[in-house]
Chain A
Amino acid sequence: MSQKIKVATTSLAGCFGCHMSFLDIDERLLELLELIEFDRSPLTDIKHCGPCDLGIIEGGVCNAENVHVLREFRQNCKILVAVGACAINGGLPAQRNHLDLRDVLEEVYQTEPGLTHGGIPNDPELPLPLNKVHPIHEVVKIDYFLPGCPPPADAIWKFVTDLLAGRTPTLGHGLIHYD
């Protein structure tokens, strides 16, 4: 039986930039893999998460599927972390929040010159968009927040190593960034 810390990650309404920044910890990944193993994550392609110690969420909540994934993570992860601007305040996807959703869809799929006008997609497989994009702490309880767009690799490293060592994660000046 494995004694390693189980970690799951996902990107909701995000750009995977936070995952890229996570990979930017470079050779420290090998050190980290001595301590952790990945469950559901874009890095493993495991589709659903089992019981985990740590869940790392990138991106905000923009559609119904995001809500389901987020709830699955909350049910399975002892500690849930919001990583990056989108998870924390909606970020770039939330720039549509001052617009009417139908207007946005019509402009993109029907009226905007230069785009193909195939009509608003309505395949039942597609998750329904929410009227507004929300930060994830408005949907489930979040234990820790790691801001940045993306958070620098050094901030992610400091955060994860603090957490694994049983310390309350703290980022000093230079590591805490909102941009």
Chain B
Amino acid sequence: MSTNTSPTFLIDGEEISFQPGQTIIQAALAAEKYIPHLCFHPEFKPHGSCKLCTVKINGRPAAACTTQAQAGLNVESDIPEIKDKRRTLVQMLLVEGNHFCPSCEKSGNCMLQALGYDLGVMSPHFAQIFPVRPVDASHPDILLDFNRCILCELCVRASSEVDKKYVFALAGRGINKHLIVNAESGRLADTNFSPTDKAAQVCPVGVILPKRVGFAVPIGKRKYDLKPISDISSRPALPSGGEGSTGQLASGGSLESAK
């Protein structure tokens, strides 16, 4: 992939060319080299919180989404040491929330689940925390199931940066950190949130779900059922609905038609 004009660095021994200013993950994805990620989204500024994109850069672990590409870097990603750490991160996310895939409409289109498959996460390993997180079904078109939130802040960022509505925020600290809705009542129905908002399209897991479109695509036929998340060979550089979009969007439908 290297050209005479752009500088390059190495990922797992493969030469990757980049434009100055690109992060390692941006350059990698542009070169169809997959690096696992959850809180990173190509249309948003890096967040650096989920740490799934951790790679070794010249021997030191760092987040690929917050580190700028530089000529001559030696990046290691697909190595047992890093994959073990990513697997542990997924396991910790799984026990921290209530991730019951069989009853989740996002199953098959969920990035957390797909990463579990891809990394070979066969068990949660740790003890389940079983947090108590009531759902918010107040909005006529959108269900919020906080049980699945992984605190990536993509909805927070989309709502503030794109929609300019500031509907979502994180509150609390440590294990008590949680997603909240910016209304006095705390209910989504009491905000100006709309299913066409960018914030409704970006959740990588099953927190923000459109109502009345369940099982439009059967389980087993969904995005990551058909292709592993790491197979990005034929994926457009900037998918319109974002990587975390629902199966309905991914299969060519739209929220408008789904309503």
- Are A and B interaction partners? yes
Residue ranges of A at the interface with B (Cβ–Cβ < 8 Å): 82, 85, 88-92, 94-95, 97-98, 132, 134-135, 137-138, 142, 144-147, 149, 170-171, 173-174, 176-179
- Residues of chain A lying within 8 A (CB to CB) of residue B225: 174, 177
Give me 27 A-to-B residue pairs in the complex whose CB atoms sit less than 8 angstroms apart, sorted by A's number: A89-B94, A89-B95, A89-B124, A90-B128, A94-B100, A94-B128, A94-B130, A95-B103, A98-B130, A98-B132, A134-B128, A135-B128, A137-B123, A145-B122, A146-B122, A147-B122, A147-B123, A149-B101, A149-B102, A171-B120, A174-B225, A176-B120, A177-B225, A178-B117, A179-B102, A179-B108, A179-B219
Q: Which residue of B lies closest to A175 (CB)?
A: B117
Residues of A within 8 A of B125 (CB): 137
B1 at the A interface (CB under 8 A): no
Q: By the criterion CB–CB under 8 Å, are B100 and A132 in contact?
A: no
Q: How far is the CA of A177 from the CA of B101 in the complex (A)?
A: 9
Segment 98-133 of B: residues with Cβ below 8 Å from A: 98-104, 107-108, 113, 116-118, 120, 122-125, 127-128, 130-133
> How many A-B pairs with Cβ below 8 Å?
75
Which of B94, B117, B124, B133 is within 8 Å of A173, CB to CB? Answer: B117
User: Shortest distance in angstroms between A176's beta carbon and chain B's nearest beta carbon?
Assistant: 5
Contact A138 B128, beta carbon cutoff 8 Å: yes
Complex alpha-carbon distance, A92 and B128, angstroms = 14
Is B101 touching A173 in the complex (CB atoms < 8 A)? no
Contact A176 B102 (CB under 8 A): no
Pair B117/A92 contact, Cβ less than 8 Å: no
Q: Contacts A170-B120, A178-B116; is A89 near B100 (CB within 8 Å)? A: yes
Contact B103 A135 (CB under 8 A): no
Show the binding face of B for A, using Cβ within 8 Å: 94-95, 98-104, 107-108, 113, 116-118, 120, 122-125, 127-128, 130-133, 219, 225, 227-228
Chain A residues positioned under 8 Å from B133 (CB to CB): 98
Given that A138-B127, A178-B113 are contacting pairs, would A89 and B104 also be in contact in the complex, using a CB cutoff of 8 Å? no
CA gap between A88 and B108 in the complex, in Å: 19
Chain B residues with CB under 8 Å of A147's CB are: 122-123
Q: Report yes or no: B120 in contact with A92, Cβ–Cβ below 8 A.
A: no
Known: A142-B123, A179-B108. 4 other contacts (CB 8 A): A98-B98, A98-B130, A173-B117, A179-B113
Chain A residues closer than 8 Å to B130, beta-carbon distance: 90, 94, 97-98, 132
Residues of chain A with a CB closer than 8 A to B104's CB: 179
- Min CB distance, A27 to chain B, in Å? 23
CA A89 to CA B126, docked complex, whole Å: 10
Across-interface contacts of A94 in B (CB, < 8 A): 100, 128, 130
Is there contact, CB below 8 Å, between A178 and B120? no
In the docked arrangement, what's the CA distance between A47 and B100, Å? 31
Most central of B94, B95, B127, B130 by chain A CB within 10 Å: B130
